[in-house]
Amino acid sequence: MSAAKVLRRPVPGSAFSWYPTMMGIKQRQVDALNAQLTAQDPLLQKLQKKQPVRVSVTGGAGNIGYSLLFRIANGELLGPDQPVEISAVELPHAYQALQGVAMELEDCAFPLLEKLNITDNAEECFDGCEIALLVGSKPRGPGMERADLMRDNGVIFKETGQVLNRMAEKYCRVTVVGNPCNTNALIACNHAPDLQARNFTAMTRLDHDRAIGFMARKTMLPPNEINHLAIWGNHSATMFPDLSDTLCHGVPWSELIGEFRAERYWRHEFLPKIQSRGARIIQVRGKSSAASAANACLSHTRDWCLGSPQPDWLSMGVVSDGEWGVPAGLVFSYPVYCENGGYKIVTDEDHPNNDWHTRTEFKRYHIERNVQELLAERDMVADLL
Based on the shown chain and the rule CB under 6 A, indicate whether residue 29 belongs to the binding site for ligand NAX. no
Residue 90 is a binding residue for ligand NAX (CB under 6 A): yes
**Strands, E assignment, the chain:** 53-58, 84-89, 113-119, 131-134, 173-176, 200-202, 226-227, 230-232, 240-242, 247-248, 251-252, 314-319, 331-339, 342-345
Peptide bond into 241 cis (omega under 30): no
**Is 178 among the residues that bind ligand NAX (CB under 6 A)?**
yes
Binding ligand NAX by CB under 6 A: which of 206, 271, 328, 331? Answer: 206
Nearer to ligand NAX, 90 or 321 (CB): 90
State the minimum distance, in angstroms, from the CB of residue 292 to ligand NAX: 8
Residue 197: count other Cβ atoms within 10 Å of its Cβ.
Answer: 23
The yes or no reply on residue 187 touching ligand NAX (CB under 6 A) is no
Residue 163 contacts ligand NAX per CB under 6 A: no
Segment 40-59, which members bind ligand NAX (CB under 6 A)? 58-59
Q: How far apart are CA 71 and CA 299, in angstroms?
A: 11
The answer to the question of residue 360 lying near ligand NAX (CB under 6 A) is: no
Cα 121 to chain centroid, rounded: 25
Residues 46 and 223: their CA atoms lie apart, in Å, by 32
Amino acid at 176: V
Told to check if 377 binds ligand NAX by CB under 6 A, we report: no
> In whole angstroms, how close is the CB of 289 to ligand NAX at the nearest point?
5
Q: Which stretch binds ligand NAX (CB under 6 A): 99-107, 136-144, 319-327, 350-358?
A: 136-144
> Radius of gyration over alpha carbons of the chain, in Å?
20
Tell me which of 112, 126, 127, 136 binds ligand NAX, using CB under 6 A: 136
User: Which of the following is catalytic: 191, 208, 228, 235?
Assistant: 235
Residue partners of 71: CB distance under 8 A and separation at least 6: 77, 294, 295, 298
Given the rule CB under 6 A, which residues bind ligand NAX?
A: 58-59, 61-65, 89-91, 94, 135-139, 156, 177-179, 181, 203, 206, 235, 288-290, 293
